[in-house]
Structure 1
Amino acid sequence: MITNQQVAVIGSLNYDLLIKQERLPKKGETFTADELIQGSGGKGANQAAQCAKLGLSTSMIGKVGEDRFGEALTGSLQAFGVNVDYVGKKGTTGMGIVNVLPDGDYHSTLLRGANYLITKEDIDESLEVITNCQYVLLQQEIPLSIIEYIIEKTRGAACKLVLNNAPARDMNETKLAAINILVVNETEAEFMSGCKVDSIESAHEVAQKLVKKVKDTVILTLGALGVVVATKDGSIYTPAKKVVAVDATGAGDSFIGAFVYCLIEGYTLQKATDFATSVSSITVSRVGGSESFPTLNEVKGLTNKPIGI
């Protein structure tokens, strides 16, 4: 059993089919796409991949199917350096069907598959790894009951919980209050707050409203506009890097993995946000899921800036 991991990611593993096309078809229309790209995905697997590619010791906890897609997913994570001892196999693998448009934006449909077969017993079996990590990363592509069970089982443990509330779900107030870092985009923030996020100013207001619901921090990502990070003491804004975006798939997951890397390395929130923004900007300038995520050496080379606190 490997227990000395820095990060445990509990969540989804999806095999992605990325379809590059000029536009979405209209109702009843058959539209011809330009290219099919296959690869590893799922918010959980993506975040684990980015953590590992930046050099963090990372364990993935989840479920894949008893099929070639599951083999491909675990093999990909292992190649990135992720421990997959706690990835079980049952049923059919979750799938992501992603329509990628010329501006890099995308529309995604998920098939739940084995992601929804993870059980409380699976969490119990991996609990020693989970509670001994510095950070535990959660998303909402597995059953909510499992997310809530993890929150309860880690109460009193030293690990810090990061929740990417995507896709957005209503959370019990007590459970949400146990989350150290909440990560949402504009749509998810609006769902949770009931307030529109349509500007940097409104993002500050909503982030400051949401941070009252969690322990420490709210990260509100704004796509091409950048990101707002709020704590109990206030909020900061970091603009997005100017790049030619070709595929935004996994950009948010890449940001989260990079942000957690920075926290473990002792960066300030501002420097962590700057670094994570650089990492996600590299991701959107490439096609694909976790294969497009940069390593630490690539970040250093492509940003041409010193990495440090």
Structure 2
Amino acid sequence: MDISVVGVGHSCIDYVGLVNRIPAADERAIIKQLTCQVGGLVATALAALARLGVKVGFVGKVGDDALGQMILKEFTREGIDISRVVVEKGASSSASLVLTEEGTGRRTIGSYRAFEDLSEDEMDRDYITSGKFVHVDGRFPKASLLAARWAREKGLEVTFDCDQISPHVEETIRFTDYLIADEAFPADFTGHEDVVEAATALLRLGPKAVVVTLGRKGCVAVTAQGIIRQPAFEVKAVNTLGAGDVFHGAFLYGLLQGWGLEDNLRFASLVAAIKCTRLGGWSSLPTLNEVKDFVSEAGISFPLLA
């Protein structure tokens, strides 16, 4: 298999309940819709890439329970290579409980993390460095660092979905080409409240670009050449769960096409916005043709998709 992107990181089952409002402590809310779907940062990014027509492979760990089988089945359905996934005997798989507020997309999330990391013995270096990009999420700190280091040593580029301060995070950033962080991480890590100042401080650690996703406010990218701001596309959001992960997958798609950073940010924002208009898990991820149809129907100018 000619894999373009290998992802090393987290996968889980998400139990997602749609409620009319997020309940306060000791309050109840009626769940209007309940779904069970596969999630995880790297996992969802790879699924987004696969929907766009890119061959991808996943390196991670699941338990040998029913949830683990569900995760592997969904990976296979999406065409994601799982030949290097570790299935741990006697272990439970990771899961999350998500309440999503109807109308606003606000969420409350509780997570069960079944595994702390992957050992070096559980990682196939040749496989991880067999593509063009390596994508990590830091959920397995040592594995993320190791994969990023191996990629750098082979001359591959690394993207890092970074949303929390974890062991080895600074070391991993130093082996990262494109750091994509959520709104909270840059301030938490650097101490700078201003997003551009925080991103600039992260840039000094070595990435070519630091991208910060800002939800409804879009995203901002900082490079040695300057600052790029991309507004969010205005859509009627019904499900924002995983939108950031989809952004990362679409961003990687743009990198594979050789697009400039500005076009890449716009495309990633567009794909994430389309995902937010649909209920469901990976079934809500758009194909490339669906992205093109959306652009055409919405009257959006995007010459690279013509």
Q: TM-score, normalised by structure 1?
A: 0.91
Query: Which of 287, 305, 308 is residue 304 of structure 2 equivalent to?
Result: 308
Q: Read off the aligned partner of 2:142 and give its amino acid letter.
A: S
1:9 matches 2:1 = no
Task: Give the stretch that moved more between structures: 246-255 or 128-137.
Answer: 128-137
Q: Give the equivalent residue in structure 2 for 1:296.
A: 288
Measured in 2, the distance between the counterparts of 1:159 and 1:228 equals 24
Q: Read off the aligned partner of 1:47 and give its amino acid letter.
A: A
1:162 matches 2:162 = no
1:232 matches 2:219 = no
1:122 matches 2:118 = no
Measured in 1, the distance between the counterparts of 2:84 and 2:169 equals 27
Q: Give the equivalent residue in structure 1 for 2:246.
A: 254
1:85 matches 2:83 = yes
Q: Give the equivalent residue in structure 2 for 1:284.
A: 276
- The answer to whether the 8 Å contact 1:39/1:289 transfers is yes
- The answer to whether the 8 Å contact 2:134/2:148 transfers is no
SS in 1 for 2:259: coil
1:211-254 deviation per Cα after TM superposition (whole angstroms, max 9, x unaligned)? 11233111100100101111111110010000011111010010
1:151 matches 2:152 = no
**Residues 306 and 235 (structure 1 numbering): CA distance in 2 closer, same or farther, change over 3 Å?**
closer
- The answer to whether the 8 Å contact 1:16/1:38 transfers is yes
Q: Read off the aligned partner of 1:42 and give its amino acid letter.
A: G
- The answer to whether the 8 Å contact 1:132/1:159 transfers is no
1:95-132 deviation per Cα after TM superposition (whole angstroms, max 9, x unaligned)? 0111101211212221111x435321111xx2112112
Q: Give the equivalent residue in structure 2 for 1:137.
A: 135
Measured in 2, the distance between the counterparts of 1:6 and 1:56 equals 7
- The answer to whether the 8 Å contact 2:117/2:139 transfers is no
- The answer to whether the 8 Å contact 1:60/1:86 transfers is yes
- The answer to whether the 8 Å contact 2:250/2:271 transfers is yes
Q: Give the equivalent residue in structure 2 for 1:98.
A: 98
1:185-218 deviation per Cα after TM superposition (whole angstroms, max 9, x unaligned)? 111121122122xxxxx33332222211233111
SS in 2 for 1:69: helix
Shift of 1:173: 4.1
Measured in 1, the distance between the counterparts of 2:248 and 2:27 equals 37
Shift of 1:306: 5.0
SS in 2 for 1:213: coil
**Residues 186 and 248 (structure 1 numbering): CA distance in 2 closer, same or farther, change over 3 Å?**
same
Query: Which of 251, 265, 270 is residue 262 of structure 2 equivalent to?
Result: 270
SS in 1 for 2:166: coil
- The answer to whether the 8 Å contact 2:134/2:151 transfers is no
Measured in 1, the distance between the counterparts of 2:288 and 2:227 equals 27
**Residues 50 and 307 (structure 1 numbering): CA distance in 2 closer, same or farther, change over 3 Å?**
farther
- The answer to whether the 8 Å contact 1:39/1:291 transfers is no
Shift of 1:141: 2.2
Q: Give the equivalent residue in structure 2 for 1:109.
A: 110
Runs (5+) with no aligned partner, structure 1 = 197-201
Q: What value does the CA root-mean-square deviation take over the aligned residues?
A: 1.8
1:145-197 deviation per Cα after TM superposition (whole angstroms, max 9, x unaligned)? 2222223333421211111112343646444211111111111121122122x
Q: Read off the aligned partner of 2:233 and give its amino acid letter.
A: K
SS in 2 for 1:83: coil
Q: Give the equivalent residue in structure 1 for 2:47.
A: 49
SS in 1 for 2:58: strand
Q: How many pairs does the alignment contain?
A: 298
Measured in 2, the distance between the counterparts of 1:62 and 1:266 equals 28
- The answer to whether the 8 Å contact 1:52/1:80 transfers is yes
Q: TM-score, normalised by structure 2?
A: 0.92
Q: Give the equivalent residue in structure 2 for 1:199.
A: none
Runs (5+) with no aligned partner, structure 2 = none
Q: Give the equivalent residue in structure 1 for 2:57.
A: 59
Measured in 2, the distance between the counterparts of 1:80 and 1:173 equals 33
SS in 2 for 1:154: helix
